[in-house]
Structure formats: structure tokens, C-alpha cells
Amino acid sequence: MKPSTLSPMTNHLLDSLPPQDRAYFLTGCEVVDLVFGEVITEPGGRIQHVYFPLNSFISLITQLSDRERLEVTMVGSEGMLGMPLILGLDESPLRALVQGAGPALRMPAVLFGQHLEQSPALQALLKRYLYVLMHQLSQVAACTHFHQLEARLARWLLMTQDRAHSDQLHLTHEFLAMMLGVRRSGVTLAAMALQARRLIRYHRGYVTVLDRAGLIEASCDCYASDRSLYRRVINEGDASRVITEGDAS
């Protein structure tokens, strides 16, 4: 990754901070360009920086073996990478793979810890985001077990489109198979089914979303559930169930 001077977009998670807290936090960030296919952390690796994607996104992957890999969540401009730090841990449990190249805000882990101690608003916000991530992880486990591949692929394409901010996605069948934890032949059949319904067009490693509304209908309910929870917990600031030190005293 390389430093950049441009920041064409914002990070929605940081936008949820009070203006004064956000402005102070940004003074400790630098903008870097994430490169497609770059591995930021490996399981068991030390977290040296936190990342807040702007116009980029990162896949978090659990890996049982060289051939058994599954994406468990995705981080784009709605979130951050480095959540174990808010639990006092500096070890990554998952592989972080850049899936969408572009700029991101980066802050050293040590400095992030200092900001976390000084800002109750940041603590409360990241606790809410941690809850959202916990929901996503449990949802993926259930979705992978119970829902049909075609619906799962539709959901995953929608999630990717949201973070890529584009209708055209650079995705190969091999990569899709790895993300969904299935064989390439299964992804091929599911993609052909969505293409036959004129929801997407797939050609030479590129997927173009033709009918977003139709793709939402084809996806499982997990997609709408994830978006609804994010709006309620993050955008609307429903922190009624988040206990702070002030509440506990």
C-alpha cells in the first residue's frame, strides 16, 4: 500500500462521530491506497494499524486449509478493520484481503488506543459497530448452512456493489468460489441463473449489475437484515443497549 493525498469519499462509521471528535481523530490518520489482492493481516498476526476504507473494501476470511476458505464478512466505507484492538487484543483472528482497491484512512494501533481512551463517543460507536459485526458473523454461519447458493451469490454481489460504489465488479469465478466456500462449478451455475434472469451480466472476470431491485428480490433476507441493523444501530445511533462507564456507575 502507498500513501495518497486524495480522499474522494468519506467513511460512514467515522461520519457518525460528533464533529469535534471526528475532526480530532482525523488528525492522526493518513490516507493510503489499498492494492487489489493485498493481504493486510494473517490469522495470528499482529495488528499494527487500523483502517477505515473510503473507496475500497476488504474481505475477512477464515481458512481451515489451503482449499477450505470462506469469507465471513466484508469491510468497506461503512466500517473499520482492526476491531480486536477495542477488546485490548492486538492479534488478528482472520485473514484480511483487499478485494476492492482504493483509498483508506490508516492510523497506527498505538495511537488508535490513545484516541479510544480519550473519546467516550468513539468507544460507544465502536461498541455498536462490534455488535453489528457479531450479527454479521452469526448471519453468515446460518446463511451458508440454510440458504441456496443462488440467493447467497445475489446477497454477496449486493454487498460488494454497496462497497465498490459501482455497478461493475471485477470478480472471477475462482474468487467467488473462495468467498462463498463452494466449488467453482456451483458458482458458475448460480451466476448463469442470475444472468438468465437478466439481473447481472458476467464476462471475462467482470460482473455488471443490471437490475439491482431484481437482485435484491433474488437474494436471501440476510441482505436486508444486515442493512436494517446497520441503520438502526449506527446511522440512527440506537445505543440503548450499550453500557458505558457512566451508565454503570
CATH number of the domain that residue 195 is part of? 1.10.10.10
pLDDT of residue 244 exceeding 70, the answer is no
Query: pLDDT tier at 46 (50, 70, 90 boundaries)?
Result: very high
pLDDT of residue 245 exceeding 60, the answer is no
Shared-domain flag, residues 106 and 159: no
Asked if residue 198 belongs to a domain, the reply is yes
CA atoms of 176 and 159, how far apart (whole Å):
13
Taken as a whole, the chain contains a residue count of 249
Asked if residue 78 belongs to a domain, the reply is yes
pLDDT of residue 249 exceeding 50, the answer is no
Give me the mean pLDDT over the 167-186 stretch: 85
pLDDT of residue 144 exceeding 90, the answer is no
Give me the mean pLDDT over the 150-159 stretch: 94
Asked if residue 129 belongs to a domain, the reply is no
Shared-domain flag, residues 112 and 161: no
Domain region containing 186: 148-219
Shared-domain flag, residues 15 and 92: yes
Query: pLDDT tier at 2 (50, 70, 90 boundaries)?
Result: low
Shared-domain flag, residues 113 and 9: yes
CA atoms of 192 and 162, how far apart (whole Å):
22
Asked if residue 135 belongs to a domain, the reply is no
Residue 136 near residue 173, CB atoms below 8 Å: no
For the ranges 17-26, 43-52, 171-180, the lowest mean pLDDT is seen at: 171-180
Average pLDDT, whole number, for the chain? 89
pLDDT of residue 1: 64
- Number of separate domains in the chain: 2
Shared-domain flag, residues 78 and 154: no
Tell which of 68, 102, 119 closes a domain: 119
Tell which of 101, 119, 137 closes a domain: 119
pLDDT of residue 96 exceeding 90, the answer is yes
Query: pLDDT tier at 223 (50, 70, 90 boundaries)?
Result: very high
Give me the mean pLDDT over the 94-112 stretch: 96
Asked if residue 43 belongs to a domain, the reply is yes
For the ranges 62-66, 196-200, 211-215, the lowest mean pLDDT is seen at: 62-66
pLDDT of residue 154: 95
Shared-domain flag, residues 109 and 47: yes
Tell which of 119, 138, 168 closes a domain: 119
CATH number at residue 55: 2.60.120.10
CA atoms of 210 and 214, how far apart (whole Å):
9
Shared-domain flag, residues 108 and 12: yes
Closest CA to 61 of 112, 99, 117, 8: 99
> Based on the number of CB atoms within 10 Å of its own CB, is 247 exposed (0-12), middle (13-18) or buried (19 or more)?
exposed
Shared-domain flag, residues 156 and 114: no
Task: From residue 24, give the alpha-carbon distance in Å to each of 105, 118, 119, 148, 239.
Answer: 14, 11, 10, 46, 22
Asked if residue 249 belongs to a domain, the reply is no
Shared-domain flag, residues 114 and 153: no
For the ranges 8-12, 20-24, 87-91, the lowest mean pLDDT is seen at: 8-12
Q: pLDDT > 90: what percent of the chain? A: 70
pLDDT of residue 119 exceeding 60, the answer is yes
Grid coordinates given for 170 = 471485477
CA atoms of 165 and 181, how far apart (whole Å):
24
Shared-domain flag, residues 157 and 114: no
Q: Which pTM was predicted?
A: 0.88
pLDDT of residue 247: 40
Give me the mean pLDDT over the 142-166 stretch: 92
Closest CA to 244 of 125, 78, 115: 125
Give the list of residues 6+ apart from residue 66 with CB closer than 8 angstroms, or none. Answer: none
Shared-domain flag, residues 106 and 164: no
Asked if residue 240 belongs to a domain, the reply is no
Helical ranges in 96-148 per DSSP H: 109-118, 120-146
pLDDT of residue 175 exceeding 90, the answer is no
Shared-domain flag, residues 111 and 182: no
Asked if residue 90 belongs to a domain, the reply is yes
Residue 85 near residue 116, CB atoms below 8 Å: yes
Q: Which residue has the cell 475477512?
A: 60
